[in-house]
Each structure stands twice: as structure tokens, then as C-alpha cells.
Amino acid sequence: MSDGNKNRDYKVFEDIYYQLIKHYGRTLTEKRDRAVIEEVKNETIKLIDSSTVSLCLNLFDWAKFRTAKGGLKIHTVWDDTLGLPDYINITDAKVHDSKGLASQIFPKGTIVVEDRAYFDFELFKSRNDAKNIFVTRLKSNILYESVEELDLPDDIDQNILKDELIKFTSKDAKKAGLEGKIFRLVLLY
């Protein structure tokens, strides 16, 4: 089978995977036992990240990553409702996380959770236009101004230090068309 797969196009397996998700998606969603946050229980949540897999250059010379290191990167969009990835892209390890997915824009109302590697003002603008909700970590050198500090609840969520509405003020944010757009910044302990 391994020898046969050397000559078989990966698209065959990709198509089978997506057909299986389409066929079993409802069953997977209904039978999944998971803790659900009440405020987002009916929302579509996508978790985006990538993983770098180290490979031995002696065996995988096509996977040159650094001088003496080989690798590949698996870019994944995890559908939290299904409990499975609904999109995977495998690239050279050199490809930056933010460039590894064909699209990072989702249907209206989708909540996207990702790490700081995906922080990009043009992506924020596109997601804002598509009515995506996104959660990411702020880079330390990002310029912004506070518009309003929101009151914190007294009896719950004691790990929230600050909750405020902000505007990005950098040249890059303005160039991307985010001037005047309001975002929410939450600082956690």
C-alpha cells in the first residue's frame, strides 16, 4: 500500500476526508460530550494554529528547514463543534503561520480563536467586513488608544484585570482601513 501511495494523488484522500465529515458531521456534533460556554453554545468556533514537525534531513532531503534541520508545518483549522479539523494544509516548515491557510475568512458570526502569529491588520479588516468575531493575542508593540473602559463584574471572572474598547492608531492599521473601528481588549491575570 505504501508503494501505491507514492504514485497516488493526495486529492483522493482529501476528497474522502471531506465527504466523511459532510456525511458524519451531524452525528459527531450530536454525540460529542464537551463542556460548553453558555454564551457561545450555538456559535461556530474555529481554532486556528500550526505545528512544526521536525524531520531528519538524511531521510527527507526535500524538507530543508534550517542549515541542519528538516521539517514541515501542518496548518489546521479545528471546528470545535465537530471536534475535528475541517481544514488542514501541509507546507514547508519555512512558511509563516499566517500564510499557511488558503482562507482565514469564515461565514458570518463565526468565532475565530488563534495565537499572535496571525495578528494582521488587513486580516482583521477582512474578518470585520465578513462579520467574523475573532480572539487573538495583542503584539507588545501595537499602538492603540483607549475609547472606553468597561466595568468589571464584582462576583465572577476575577482573573479579568481590564476590559476596554480601543482603536488601533498605527500607520499599518490606518492603511488597512481600520481607522475608527472599535475593538475590545481584555487583559487577563
Note the pLDDT tens digit of each residue in 84-130.
898 899 999 999 998 999 889 999 989 999 999 999 999 999 999 99
Is the pTM higher than 0.75? yes
Number of structural domains found in the chain: 1
- Domain of residue 13 covers 2-105
Average pLDDT of the segment spanning 35-51: 85
In a domain, 188, yes or no: no
In a domain, 17, yes or no: yes
Beta strands in the chain (DSSP E): 45-55, 64-66, 69-79, 84-92, 111-114, 133-135, 144-149, 160-168, 183-188
In a domain, 153, yes or no: no
Burial of 163: CB neighbours in 10 Å, binned 0-12, 13-18, 19+:
middle
In a domain, 80, yes or no: yes
In a domain, 160, yes or no: no
Distance set, CA 21 to CA 1, 29, 88 (Å): 24, 11, 13
What is the rounded CA–CA span in Å between residue 174 and residue 81?
35
Average pLDDT of the segment spanning 132-149: 94
In a domain, 169, yes or no: no
Least confident of 35-39, 57-61, 74-78, 177-181: 35-39
